[in-house]
Amino acid sequence: MSGSAITPWVVGNWKMNPMQADAKALLQDFKKLLQNNEIKEQDCYLGIAPTMLALGSVQSELASSVRPVYPVAQDVSRIAGTGAYTGEVSAELLKDQQIDFVLIGHSERREFFAETASILNEKVKNALNAGLTIIYCVGESLEQRENGQAEQVVLQQICDIATVVQAEQWKNIVVAYEPIWAIGTGKTASPEDAQAMHAKIRAGLTQITPLGASMAILYGGSVKPENAVELAACPDINGALVGGASLNAESFYKIAQAFANTK
């Protein structure tokens, strides 16, 4: 046991999955596993990020869980408040529906939806000002890693948001380091490489904010039950953002167990 003072987070990112009936069965299976009472609330925070369409029904389903499992939005508009913005969901609308968490900056949003640093800054600013906690994703491509630019790219992504985050708002930020080459590919960063980057992220954060030492830094990229224990043992890996493996109740549960056991 590492005995880290930082409570780990394990968050499932369902992406554009699954169909309604499968989502219901998945949540019911997961809630049943939680009844074993092996993952205590104080040992691991849990979250699930379904599609925007399913957010309300997942929230209702999770309300009857034996322990909190927070519904998390996968995205938020860069526009604040309400208004004539077809297709958008603002931070205020999420908050109004008692959604307190949102992913921002996932590499799929950066890559496929052209979300630049300035767009992400607007999202970060609006989400924090509305009182949401954000899971801010950072990570380098394979090419950037091979060119020796991984650290610079990741630290720049952290510095980007520093211009819009007010001093006391850092407590509402969780960072997720997700090397792009490890997302959905089955390739995981080795625990040593992941820990090395997490330590650099923590050093970068502590230069920006005194809260950096206590911020949770999650790892994401093909996390599965087979590698979760080793990753969880790394001192600066304070949880996981889980894509594919979160679509299986037992796998997601085992990953959560691995992180809860570090407390």
Contact residues: ligand PEP, CB under 6 A: 13, 15, 178, 183-184, 220-223, 241-245
Describe the crossing of helices 117-129 and 150-162 by its angle, rounded to 10 degrees: 50
Cα 208 to Cα 45, 165, 201, distances in angstroms: 25, 10, 11
Per the structure block, which two tokens stand in for 255?
A: 């990953």
- Which candidate, 153, 171, 174, places its Cα nearest to that of 217? 174
User: Residue 148, annotated ligand binder?
Assistant: no
- Of 92 and 136, nearer to ligand PEP (C-beta) is 136
Least distance between ligand PEP and beta carbon 194 (Å): 12
In this chain, which residue has its C-beta nearest to ligand PEP?
Answer: 243
Residue type at 12 in one-letter notation: G
Least distance between ligand PEP and beta carbon 186 (Å): 8
Least distance between ligand PEP and beta carbon 240 (Å): 8
Which residues, in sequence order, are CB contacts of 5 under 8 Å at separation 6+?
214
User: Residue 186, annotated ligand binder?
Assistant: no
Measured from the Cβ of residue 22, the count of other Cβ atoms closer than 10 Å reads 11
- Of 13 and 59, nearer to ligand PEP (C-beta) is 13
Would you say the C-alpha torsion 56, 58, 64, 68 has a positive or negative sign? negative
- Of 13 and 77, nearer to ligand PEP (C-beta) is 13
Per the structure block, which two tokens stand in for 205?
A: 């954060």
Alpha helices in the chain (DSSP H): 20-34, 55-62, 91-96, 107-112, 117-129, 142-146, 150-162, 191-208, 225-232, 249-260
Per the structure block, which two tokens stand in for 129?
A: 């000002």
List residues with catalytic annotation.
Answer: 106, 178
Q: Say how far apart CA 37 and CA 217 lie, in whole Å.
A: 25
Residues 150 and 143: beta-carbon distance below 8 Å: no
Longest dimension (CA), the chain: 52
User: Residue 15, annotated ligand binder?
Assistant: yes
Annotated binding site: 13-15, 184, 222, 243-244
Annotated binding site for substrate: 13-15, 184, 222, 243-244
